[in-house]
Structure 1
Amino acid sequence: MAAIPAPHAPHSPDTQAERVLLVGGGDLGMRVAARLSGGTLWVLRRHPPATAALCGPAGAVQWLAGDVSRPDTLRGLPRGITRLVYVLAPDARDSRAYRDVFIDGPRHLLSALDTSALQRMVFVSSSAVYGDHDGGWIDEETPPGPQGENGEILLRAEQWLAEQRLPVTALRLAGLYGPGRVQLLERLRQGVARAPRRAAHWANRMHVDDAAAAIAHLVRLADALPVYLGADDTPLPLDVLYDHLAGLLGAPLPLDGPPPAGVGSKRMRNARLRASGLRLAWPDARDGYASLIEAR
Structure 2
Amino acid sequence: MKHLVIAGCGDVGTALGLRMLEHGWQVSGLRRDPTGLPDGFGRIAADLILDERPADWPERVDYVVFCPAAGRRDPELYRALYADGLRHVLGWLQQSRQRPRHLLQVSSTAVYGQSAGEWVTENSPAVAATPTAPILLEAEDIALRSGMPASVVRLGGIYGPGRTRLIEQVRNGLYVPEEPEQFTNRIHRDDAAGLLAHLLLSADRGDLLAPCYIGVDDEPASLREVADWLAGRLGVSLLEEGATANRIGSKRCSNALARESGWEPQYPSYREGYASMLG
For 2:38, the aligned partner's letter is L
Contact residue 86 and residue 142 of structure 2 kept, 8 A: no
Within a 5 Å distance, the mapping from 1:111-150 to structure 2 comes to 111-113=91-93, 114=96, 116-150=98-132
Whether 2:9 is the aligned partner of 1:28: answer: no
- Deviation by residue 1:159-204 (Cα, 9 ceiling, x = unmatched): 122122221111101101111111111111110x232312211111
Whether 2:176 is the aligned partner of 1:190: answer: no
- Deviation by residue 1:54-110 (Cα, 9 ceiling, x = unmatched): 23xxxx111010111111253552233111011100143211211111111011111
Q: CA deviation at 1:233?
A: 0.3
Contact residue 135 and residue 202 of structure 1 kept, 8 A: yes
Within a 5 Å distance, the mapping from 1:126-275 to structure 2 comes to 126-191=108-173, 193-222=174-203, 223-255=208-240, 260-261=246-247, 263-275=248-260
Specify whether residues 121 and 254 from structure 1 end up closer, same or farther in structure 2 by C-alpha distance, changes over 3 A only. Answer: farther
> Cα RMSD between the aligned structures?
1.8
Contact residue 214 and residue 255 of structure 2 kept, 8 A: yes
Specify whether residues 138 and 109 from structure 1 end up closer, same or farther in structure 2 by C-alpha distance, changes over 3 A only. Answer: same
Specify whether residues 109 and 240 from structure 1 end up closer, same or farther in structure 2 by C-alpha distance, changes over 3 A only. Answer: same
Runs of 4+ aligned structure 1 residues displaced above 3 Å come to 114-117, 254-261
The runs of 5 or more residues in structure 1 that have no matched partner are 1-15
Contact residue 65 and residue 73 of structure 1 kept, 8 A: no
Whether 2:70 is the aligned partner of 1:85: answer: no
For 2:213, the aligned partner's letter is Y
The structure 2 residue matched to 1:279, chosen from 264, 267, 271, is 264
Q: CA deviation at 1:111?
A: 0.6
Whether 2:48 is the aligned partner of 1:48: answer: no
Contact residue 129 and residue 154 of structure 1 kept, 8 A: yes
Q: TM-score scaled by structure 1?
A: 0.86
Whether 2:84 is the aligned partner of 1:98: answer: no
- Distance (Å, rounded) in 2 between the aligned partners of 1:245 and 1:100: 37
Specify whether residues 277 and 115 from structure 1 end up closer, same or farther in structure 2 by C-alpha distance, changes over 3 A only. Answer: farther
Pairs aligned (count): 270
The runs of 5 or more residues in structure 2 that have no matched partner are none
Q: CA deviation at 1:112?
A: 1.0
- Distance (Å, rounded) in 2 between the aligned partners of 1:34 and 1:161: 24
For 1:36, the aligned partner's letter is M
Contact residue 29 and residue 212 of structure 1 kept, 8 A: yes
The structure 2 residue matched to 1:108, chosen from 78, 81, 88, is 88
- The higher-RCO structure (CA 8 Å, 6+ apart) is 1
Specify whether residues 159 and 117 from structure 1 end up closer, same or farther in structure 2 by C-alpha distance, changes over 3 A only. Answer: closer
Percent identical across equivalent pairs? 35
Specify whether residues 155 and 196 from structure 1 end up closer, same or farther in structure 2 by C-alpha distance, changes over 3 A only. Answer: farther
Contact residue 115 and residue 251 of structure 2 kept, 8 A: yes
